[in-house]
Amino acid sequence: MARGLNKVMLIGNLGSDPEMRALPSGQTVTNFTLATNESFKDSSGVLQERTEWHRIVVWGKLAEICNQYLRKGRQVYLEGKIQTRSWDDSKTGEKRYATEIVCNDMQMLGSPMQQQGSNYGNQGGGYGQQQNQGYGNQTSYAPQQPQEQGGYQPSPGMGQGEPEKDDLPF
Amino acid sequence: MARGLNKVMLIGNLGSDPEMRALPSGQTVTNFTLATNESFKDSSGVLQERTEWHRIVVWGKLAEICNQYLRKGRQVYLEGKIQTRSWDDSKTGEKRYATEIVCNDMQMLGSPMQQQGSNYGNQGGGYGQQQNQGYGNQTSYAPQQPQEQGGYQPSPGMGQGEPEKDDLPF
Amino acid sequence: MARGLNKVMLIGNLGSDPEMRALPSGQTVTNFTLATNESFKDSSGVLQERTEWHRIVVWGKLAEICNQYLRKGRQVYLEGKIQTRSWDDSKTGEKRYATEIVCNDMQMLGSPMQQQGSNYGNQGGGYGQQQNQGYGNQTSYAPQQPQEQGGYQPSPGMGQGEPEKDDLPF
Amino acid sequence: MARGLNKVMLIGNLGSDPEMRALPSGQTVTNFTLATNESFKDSSGVLQERTEWHRIVVWGKLAEICNQYLRKGRQVYLEGKIQTRSWDDSKTGEKRYATEIVCNDMQMLGSPMQQQGSNYGNQGGGYGQQQNQGYGNQTSYAPQQPQEQGGYQPSPGMGQGEPEKDDLPF
DNA sequence: TTTT
DNA sequence: TTTT
Radius of gyration for chain A, computed over Cα atoms and rounded to the nearest angstrom: 18
pLDDT (mean) for B21-47: 95
Q: Chains B, D: CB contacts under 8 A, how many?
A: 15
Confidence band, pLDDT 50/70/90 cuts, at residue B37 = very high
Confidence band, pLDDT 50/70/90 cuts, at residue A91 = confident
Give the residue, A17 or A135, on which the prediction is more confident.
A17
Predicted confidence at residue B91, as pLDDT, reads 80
For chain B, first and last CA: distance in Å? 33
B59: amino acid identity, one letter: W
Distance of alpha carbon D63 from alpha carbon D56, whole angstroms = 10
User: Could you say which residues 104-123 of protein chain B have a Cβ atom less than 7 A away from any atom in strand F?
Assistant: 111
Contact B8, B82 (CB under 8 A): yes
Confidence band, pLDDT 50/70/90 cuts, at residue A155 = very low
| Residue D2 confidence (pLDDT) above 70 | yes
φ, ψ for residue D118, nearest 5 deg: -60, -35
B136: amino acid identity, one letter: G
| Residue A53 confidence (pLDDT) above 60 | yes
pLDDT (mean) for D65-69: 98
User: Could you say which residues 56-115 of protein chain B have a Cβ atom less than 7 A away from any atom in strand E?
Assistant: 72-73, 75, 114-115
- What average pLDDT is seen over chain D? 74
Q: Which of B109, B132, B138 to mutate to test the interface with C (most CBs of C within 10 A)?
A: B109
| Closest chain A C-alpha to C136 CA, distance in angstroms | 6
Contact C42, C53 (CB under 8 A): no
Q: Are C136 and A77 in contact (CB < 8 Å)?
A: no
Predicted confidence at residue A113, as pLDDT, reads 57
Bridge partners (DSSP) of residue C47 are: C41
CA of C38 and C1' of F2: distance in angstroms? 13
Which of C2, C77, C136 has the CB atom closest to A1's CB atom? C136
Distance of alpha carbon B8 from alpha carbon C5, whole angstroms = 16
| Closest chain B C-alpha to D42 CA, distance in angstroms | 28
Neighbours of C79 (CB within 10 A): 18
User: B105 at the A interface (CB within 8 A)?
Assistant: no
| Residue A131 confidence (pLDDT) above 50 | no
Q: Which A residues, 4 through 33, put their C-beta within 8 Å of a C-beta on chain C?
A: 4-5
CA of C140 and C1' of E3: distance in angstroms? 15
Among the listed residues A115, A112, A110, A92, the one whose alpha carbon sits nearest the alpha carbon of residue A15 = A115
- pLDDT tens, residue by residue, B55-99: 999 999 999 999 999 999 999 999 999 999 999 988 888 889 999
| Closest chain D C-alpha to A60 CA, distance in angstroms | 19
| Residue A67 confidence (pLDDT) above 50 | yes
| Closest chain D C-alpha to A16 CA, distance in angstroms | 16
φ, ψ for residue C114, nearest 5 deg: -95, -5
pLDDT (mean) for D111-115: 58
Predicted confidence at residue A2, as pLDDT, reads 74
Give the residue, C69 or D111, on which the prediction is more confident.
C69
Distance of alpha carbon A61 from alpha carbon D24, whole angstroms = 54
**SS3 of residue D62 by DSSP:** helix
Alpha carbon of residue B170 to chain centroid: 12
pLDDT (mean) for A107-135: 46
pLDDT (mean) for A101-121: 71
User: A83 at the B interface (CB within 8 A)?
Assistant: yes
Chain D residues close to C105, C-beta within 8 Å: none
- What average pLDDT is seen over chain B? 74
Give the residue, A122 or C91, on which the prediction is more confident.
C91
φ, ψ for residue D38, nearest 5 deg: -135, 135
- pLDDT tens, residue by residue, A20-44: 999 999 999 999 999 999 999 998 9
**What is the CB-side half-sphere exposure of residue D38 using CA atoms within 13 A?**
15
Alpha carbon of residue A17 to chain centroid: 8
**SS3 of residue D63 by DSSP:** helix
Contact C70, C1 (CB under 8 A): no
Give the length of chain A. Answer: 170
Contact B32, A35 (CB under 8 A): no
| Closest chain B C-alpha to C4 CA, distance in angstroms | 15
φ, ψ for residue B30, nearest 5 deg: -120, 135
Dmax over CA atoms of chain C, in Å, equals: 57
- pLDDT > 90: percent of chain B: 56
Predicted confidence at residue D112, as pLDDT, reads 60
Confidence band, pLDDT 50/70/90 cuts, at residue D16 = very high
Alpha carbon of residue A107 to chain centroid: 12
User: H-helix or E-strand containing C21?
Assistant: strand C19-22
The set of chains that have 3 or more CB pairs under 8 A with D is A, B, C
Predicted confidence at residue A123, as pLDDT, reads 35
Give the residue, D152 or B49, on which the prediction is more confident.
B49
User: H-helix or E-strand containing B21?
Assistant: strand B19-22
Predicted confidence at residue C110, as pLDDT, reads 87
| Residue A90 confidence (pLDDT) above 80 | yes
Q: Are D107 and B3 in contact (CB < 8 Å)?
A: yes
- What average pLDDT is seen over chain A? 74
Predicted confidence at residue C22, as pLDDT, reads 97
B119 touches strand E (CB under 7 A): no
Predicted confidence at residue C112, as pLDDT, reads 57
Chain A residues close to C136, C-beta within 8 Å: 1-3
Chain C residue with the nearest C-alpha to that of A78 = C5
B31 touches strand E (CB under 7 A): no
CA of A59 and C1' of E1: distance in angstroms? 30
C170: amino acid identity, one letter: F
Give the length of chain D. Answer: 170
| Residue B36 confidence (pLDDT) above 60 | yes
Chain C residues close to D54, C-beta within 8 Å: 6, 82
Q: Any idea what DSSP says for residue D45? A: S
Give the length of chain C. Answer: 170
Mean pLDDT: which of A8-12, C91-95, C161-165 is highest?
A8-12
Contact C6, D52 (CB under 8 A): yes
User: C105 at the B interface (CB within 8 A)?
Assistant: no
Distance of alpha carbon D110 from alpha carbon A110, whole angstroms = 4
Alpha carbon of residue D75 to chain centroid: 11
Distance of alpha carbon A88 from alpha carbon A93, whole angstroms = 6
Which of C9, C83, C169 has the CB atom closest to D5's CB atom? C9
Contact D22, D30 (CB under 8 A): no
Q: Could you tell me the CA-to-CA distances from A33 to A87, A141, B162, C7, C124 in Å, in that order?
A: 21, 21, 24, 24, 52
Among the listed residues A2, A39, A6, C5, the one whose alpha carbon sits nearest the alpha carbon of residue B7 = A6
The set of chains that have 3 or more CB pairs under 8 A with A is B, C, D
Distance of alpha carbon A33 from alpha carbon A57, whole angstroms = 9
Which of C5, C13, C99 has the CB atom closest to D84's CB atom? C99
Q: Are C110 and B109 in contact (CB < 8 Å)?
A: yes
| Residue B133 confidence (pLDDT) above 60 | no
Full set of structural domains in chain A with CATH: 8-108 (2.40.50.140)
Strands (E) in chain D, as ranges, are 2-3, 5-14, 19-22, 28-41, 47-59, 75-88, 95-108
Confidence band, pLDDT 50/70/90 cuts, at residue C157 = very low
| Closest chain B C-alpha to C136 CA, distance in angstroms | 7
Distance of alpha carbon D110 from alpha carbon D137, whole angstroms = 9
- What average pLDDT is seen over chain C? 74
Mean pLDDT: which of A106-110, C144-148, D143-147 is highest?
A106-110
Distance of alpha carbon A96 from alpha carbon B95, whole angstroms = 11
Q: Chains A, D: CB contacts under 8 A, how many?
A: 50
Contact B29, B66 (CB under 8 A): no
Which of A4, A9, A39 has the CB atom closest to B3's CB atom? A39
Q: Which of D57, D82, D88 to mutate to test the interface with C (most CBs of C within 10 A)?
A: D82
C84: amino acid identity, one letter: T
**SS3 of residue C122 by DSSP:** helix
| Residue C170 confidence (pLDDT) above 50 | yes
Q: Are B107 and D2 in contact (CB < 8 Å)?
A: yes
pLDDT (mean) for C53-66: 98
**SS3 of residue B157 by DSSP:** coil
Q: Which of D36, D94, D104 to mutate to test the interface with C (most CBs of C within 10 A)?
A: D36
User: D138 at the B interface (CB within 8 A)?
Assistant: yes
